[in-house]
């Protein structure tokens, strides 16, 4: 008997697809378009199981959509700029460009055996000058529309990578890539004006119905909208005012001090005359302002000696303090402290002996605040004391709204919405990135490079033997003449954050060879991405930046209207995990072992390993399974089938050797079954055709539902079930042939090679990829009889098989006659009988 040989089958069908050029995407007027995209990979050099899972999910969707009559775009590219290439150049020599393109070639050749339905003719890498040149054109257009600007800024300096990090890229005070403790430095940097769009980016989240609620919420929290008011405080020395921003103006009665940021203009003005203030401010400047450091730091302040008049109570004067916890770049850089209703302010007040005064109490409880601030939920009703706006027993939220109105009416303040989102700093002091296309001229200042001179191509002749940016020490590249006046000038040597590269690649895929960033006709046809699939780790940065870019590209005419939200549907898939095998060396330090070196919990020499529960596959923990090895021993279809089978796609899936083995066995079984059916005698007798075909239609229905709703694991369970039914069927050849061909079609999105092989083996016409998706026959989904569970008081006590169309009254009669019910009734009458047609009968006794 022939056996299932995936290596031979898979190579054959991949060639057949190539020959028929089936995955090439062309605009078409007579089919609806469908754009499916997986987050493109960084070319590290090796594909891993996470890639396999990500691309397989996209492939299932793409192939399913093809067979349901859609014109599908399913491209692939490389997020190819970034530090690992430079790190490799520093560590092992060579050039980032060579390293990157070699890796791309390796990964492409590892990816191709998966049999993905990708239109490879659209492939590009973000480090191709053809791509980053268009990105430079975008930058110049953004510059013209003032969507990008330069400012002096305190930046997060990563001393290891010698580069600036965005706030968002600082994690626990450490660089998100290097893990080095981040320092502060002041540099002139380029920024995208994403904060201008904060409100819109937040509001538009509500329309993203097909995004996970979790991701929308994370973005909402990141943007961080808060409604408050800017209040003017007049200095008692007559030297002007201090503006404070507050979200709790209703607590103004309890204000007992003002705190300003160390870099607030008022603080800076006092520095010259007051050495003790200068010393404090200096100390604050040295302080790390990263989130983690700020959290750990003690809340400190110093009295400036200034006072301001309370805006509501003329006779009250408030001292002005400098606080190390006040941030200059949020709000106005000044706040009023209300110790009674804010824990931080209360701690500060107790430390420096400032007054604590309640603005409200909880109803019926007039205990003054002690060491714990009174901060009830904003929806809770509180009793205000002698409130200036005339309110008494209301919720905090109502009080805030009323107080803002009151301040505005009196002309003492202006209601304002603040966002936590800051502008996106994109300058990187690094070689392997997209050069920022501007020139610095002593006469003309910052001059944009002329578009006809794009791309500004990275020079190849650079070395990495000294830290810092090689572009800074490359005179023939750096020194140019000013595009405006022609005098000697200097190129900008900073390059762009790699998040820029990934913020518009999805648009470029619609016309990857266009000599403008996009082609509007192609973009209008293919955009938006109908289904985007990727990891939850990109929930904030990448997706938010892409949403900003889509808007900015619309403003600059590079995308048509309607593409502001470029991803119609988003799916965030879980990771592939594996157990970790660990032993300890003689010093007790952990030593990790690869899964292939462990059999039955033991190493080859018999040493027992400690098994640590499943975690994300990582090189350092050695819990990695190489997809190439799996493909070599079982084939791509097995790898694809397994990563989809065990867990819901949004959750992590644990890779197990036995699971992969089982997937392979199942596919072999299906293949053998096909072989057996093909060899059947077409004229032979058989029975149960109808049962088989009914099961088949039920399977069509269930699998279609599963694929449509990302329930791949459930769809696979149904396919297992139907395979078991088919393999036991005694039906005639025609019915069995129909069943196996339909099974192949239903499996085709997941195991496309095996499906093609079965299709051909059974004499199917053309390629299975061109065959229309099977449609379940409604009539075959209904059966003549139905078995209803009979419950007594909600507990299952028996069952009853009745004609499917029997009416309720008769079902009730039949149910009451069943043995389980008569026994429970014991001669009495039922209190109530619930009959849910086709579902259940419940008798209440």
717 contributes a contact to RNA by CB under 7 A: yes
Tell me which residues in 596-635 interact with RNA (CB under 7 A). none
In the complex, the smallest distance separating the C-beta of residue 396 from RNA, rounded to whole angstroms, is: 12
- Residue 723 vs residues 53, 220, 728: alpha-carbon distances, Å: 24, 46, 9
Nearer to RNA by Cβ, of 273 and 298: the residue is 298
Interface mask (CB under 7 A) for RNA, residues 164-203, using x and -? Answer: ----------------------------------------
Q: Residues in contact with RNA, total (CB under 7 A)? A: 79
At closest approach, how far in Å is the CB of 18 from RNA? 32
- According to the binding rule CB under 7 A, does residue 794 interact with RNA? yes
Could you tell me which stretch among 365-373, 452-460, 674-682, 708-716 binds RNA (CB under 7 A)? Answer: 708-716
Residue 542 interacts with RNA (CB under 7 A): yes or no: no
Check residue 653 for interaction with RNA (CB under 7 A).
yes
Q: Which of 492, 463, 432, 581 is nearest to 187 (CA)?
A: 492
Considering beta carbons, is residue 286 or 795 the nearer one to RNA?
795
Element (H, E) at 28: none
How many Cβ atoms sit within 10 Å of the Cβ of residue 421?
A: 23
Binding mask 215-244 for RNA (x = CB under 7 A): --xx--xx-x-x-x----------------
Query: For residue 238, is it left (φ>0), alpha (ψ between -120 and 50) or beta?
Result: left
DSSP string covering 700-758: HHHHHHHHHTT-HHHHHHHHHHHHHHHHH----HHHHHHHHHHHHHHHTTTSHHHHHHH
Is residue 646 close enough to count as binding RNA by CB under 7 A?
A: yes
Q: Give the footprint of RNA on residues 60-79 (CB under 7 A).
A: none
Residue number, 154 or 484, with CB nearest to RNA: 154
Distance from chain centroid for Cα 616: 17
User: Interface with RNA includes 376 (CB under 7 A)?
Assistant: no
Closest of 185, 121, 189 to residue 152, by C-alpha: 189
Q: How far apart are CA 615 and CA 577, in angstroms?
A: 5
- The whole-angstrom separation of Cα 258 and Cα 266 is 12
* Distance in Å, CB of 788 to RNA, minimum: 8
Q: How far is the C-alpha of 116 from the C-alpha of 174, rounded, in Å?
A: 38
State yes or no: residue 711 binds RNA (CB under 7 A).
yes
The binder of RNA chosen from 50, 75, 113, 331 (CB under 7 A): 331
Q: Is 154 in the site for RNA (CB under 7 A)?
A: no
799: contact with RNA by CB under 7 A: yes
Q: Tell me which residues in 278-307 interact with RNA (CB under 7 A).
A: 291, 294-295, 297-299
Closer residue to RNA, CB minimum distance, 112 or 797 = 797
- 410: contact with RNA by CB under 7 A: no
Check residue 834 for interaction with RNA (CB under 7 A): yes
Q: Please tell me whether residue 380 binds RNA under the rule CB under 7 A.
A: no
Q: CB of 275: closest distance to RNA in angstroms?
A: 23
Decide: 187 and 155 in contact? Cβ < 8 Å: yes
Q: Is 836 in the site for RNA (CB under 7 A)?
A: yes
For the CB of residue 426, give the shortest distance to RNA in the complex, in Å.
Answer: 19
- What is the β-pairing status of strands 33-38 and 71-73? parallel
Instruction: Out of 12, 513, 796, 813, point to the residue binding RNA (CB under 7 A).
Output: 796
Region near RNA per CB under 7 A, out of 119-127, 648-656, 684-692, 736-744 = 648-656
Beta carbon nearer to RNA, 383 or 727? 727
Question: Could you give the CA distance from residue 384 to residue 402 in angstroms, rounded to a whole number?
Answer: 12
Q: Give first-to-last CA distance, the chain, whole Å.
A: 61
Q: With respect to RNA, which residue has the nearer C-beta, 477 or 710?
A: 710
- For the CA atoms of the chain, what is the radius of gyration? 34
Do the beta carbons of residue 576 and residue 659 sit within 8 Å? Answer: no
Work out the widest C-alpha separation in the chain, in whole angstroms: 109
Distance CA 558, CA 514 (A): 12
Shortest Cβ 150–RNA spacing (Å) = 23
Q: Rounded distance, CA 31 to CA 27, Å?
A: 9
Distance of CA 307 to the CA centre of its chain: 48
What SS3 class is residue 90? helix
- 713 binds RNA per the rule CB under 7 A: yes
Residue 319 binding RNA, by CB under 7 A: no
669 binds RNA (CB under 7 A): yes
Shortest distance, position 164 Cβ to RNA, whole Å:
17
Among 261, 550, 563, 746, binds RNA (CB under 7 A): 261
Q: Which stretch binds RNA (CB under 7 A): 201-209, 331-339, 354-362, 430-438?
A: 331-339
Closer Cβ to RNA, 41 or 173, answer by number: 173
For residue 458, give the 3-state DSSP assignment: coil
**391-395 — which CB contacts under 8 Å span 24+ positions?**
391/250, 393/363
CA dist 138 and 142 (Å) reads 6
């Amino acid at each position: 008997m022939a056996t299932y040989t995936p290596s031979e089958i898979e190579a054959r069908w991949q060639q057949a697809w190539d020959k028929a050029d089936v995955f090439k995407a062309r605009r078409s007027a007579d089919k609806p378009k469908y754009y499916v995209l997986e987050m493109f990979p960084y070319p590290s050099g090796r594909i891993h199981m996470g890639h396999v899972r990500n691309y397989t999910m996209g492939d299932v969707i793409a192939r399913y959509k093809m067979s349901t009559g859609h014109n599908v775009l399913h491209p692939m590219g490389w997020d190819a700029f970034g530090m690992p290439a430079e790190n490799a150049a520093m560590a092992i020599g060579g050039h980032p460009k060579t390293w990157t393109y070699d890796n791309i070639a390796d990964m492409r050749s590892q990816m191709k055996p998966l049999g993905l339905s990708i239109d490879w003719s659209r492939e590009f890498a973000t480090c191709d000058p053809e791509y980053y040149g268009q990105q430079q054109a975008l930058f110049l257009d953004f510059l013209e529309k003032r969507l990008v600007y330069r400012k002096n800024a305190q930046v997060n300096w990563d001393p290891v990578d010698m580069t600036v990090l965005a706030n968002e890229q600082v994690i626990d005070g450490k660089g998100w890539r290097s893990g080095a403790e981040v320092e502060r430095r002041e540099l002139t940097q380029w920024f995208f004006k994403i904060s201008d769009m904060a409100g819109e980016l937040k509001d538009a989240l509500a329309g993203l119905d097909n995004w996970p609620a979790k991701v929308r919420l994370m973005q909402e929290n990141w943007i961080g909208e808060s409604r408050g008011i800017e209040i003017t405080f007049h200095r008692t020395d007559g030297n002007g005012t201090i503006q404070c921003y507050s979200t709790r103006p209703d607590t103004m009665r309890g204000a007992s001090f003002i705190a300003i940021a160390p870099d607030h203009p008022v603080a800076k003005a006092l520095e010259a005359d007051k050495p003790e203030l200068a010393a404090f401010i200096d100390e604050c400047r040295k302080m790390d302002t990263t989130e983690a450091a700020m959290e750990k730091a003690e809340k400190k302040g110093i009295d400036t000696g200034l006072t301001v008049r309370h805006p509501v109570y003329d006779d009250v004067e408030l001292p002005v303090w400098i606080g190390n916890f006040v941030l200059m770049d949020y709000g106005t850089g000044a706040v009023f402290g209300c110790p009674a209703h804010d824990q931080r302010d209360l701690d500060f007040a107790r430390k420096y002996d400032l007054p604590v005064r309640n603005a409200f109490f909880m109803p019926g409880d007039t205990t003054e605040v002690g060491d714990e601030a009174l901060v009830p939920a904003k929806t809770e009703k509180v009793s205000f004391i002698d409130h200036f706006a005339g309110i008494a027993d209301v919720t905090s939220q109502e009080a805030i709204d009323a107080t803002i109105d009151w301040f505005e009416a009196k002309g003492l303040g202006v209601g304002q919405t603040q966002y936590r989102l800051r502008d996106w700093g994109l300058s990187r002091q690094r070689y392997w990135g997209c050069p920022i296309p501007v020139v610095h001229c002593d006469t003309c200042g910052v001059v944009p490079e002329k578009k006809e001179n794009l791309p500004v191509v990275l020079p190849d002749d650079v070395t990495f033997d000294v830290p810092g940016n090689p572009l800074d020490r490359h005179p023939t590249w750096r020194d140019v003449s000013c595009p405006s006046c022609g005098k000697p000038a200097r190129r900008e040597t900073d390059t762009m954050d790699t998040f820029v590269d990934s913020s518009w690649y999805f648009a470029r895929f619609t016309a990857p060879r266009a000599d403008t960033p996009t082609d509007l006709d192609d973009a209008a046809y293919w955009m938006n991405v109908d289904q985007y699939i990727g990891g939850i780790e990109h929930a904030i940065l990448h997706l938010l930046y892409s949403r900003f870019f889509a808007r900015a590209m619309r403003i600059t005419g590079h995308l048509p209207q309607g593409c502001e939200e470029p991803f119609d549907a988003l799916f965030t898939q879980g990771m592939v995990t594996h157990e970790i095998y660990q032993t300890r060396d003689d010093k007790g330090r952990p030593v990790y072992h690869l899964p292939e070196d462990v059999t039955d919990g033991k190493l080859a020499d018999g040493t027992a390993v400690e098994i640590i529960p499943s975690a994300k596959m990582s090189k350092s923990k050695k819990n990695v399974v190489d997809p190439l090895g799996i493909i070599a021993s079982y084939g791509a279809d097995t790898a694809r089938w397994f990563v989809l089978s065990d867990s819901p796609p949004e959750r992590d899936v644990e890779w197990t050797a036995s699971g992969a083995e089982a997937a392979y066995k199942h596919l072999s079984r299906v293949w053998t079954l096909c072989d057996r059916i093909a060899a059947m005698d077409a004229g032979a007798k058989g029975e149960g055709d109808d049962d088989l075909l009914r099961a088949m239609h039920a399977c069509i229905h269930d699998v279609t539902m599963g694929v449509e709703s990302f329930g791949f694991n459930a769809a696979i369970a149904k396919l297992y079930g139907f395979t078991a039914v088919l393999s036991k069927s005694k039906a005639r050849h025609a019915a069995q042939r129909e069943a196996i061909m339909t099974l192949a079609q239903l499996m085709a999105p997941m195991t496309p090679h095996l499906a093609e092989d079965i299709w051909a083996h059974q004499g199917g016409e053309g390629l299975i990829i061109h065959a229309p998706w099977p449609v379940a026959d409604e009539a075959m989904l209904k059966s003549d009889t139905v078995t209803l569970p009979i419950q007594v008081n909600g507990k299952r006590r028996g069952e009853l098989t009745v004609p499917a169309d029997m009416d309720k009254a008769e079902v009730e009669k039949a149910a009451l006659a069943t043995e389980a019910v008569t026994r429970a009734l014991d001669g009495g009458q039922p209190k109530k009988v619930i009959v849910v047609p086709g579902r259940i009968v419940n008798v209440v006794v």
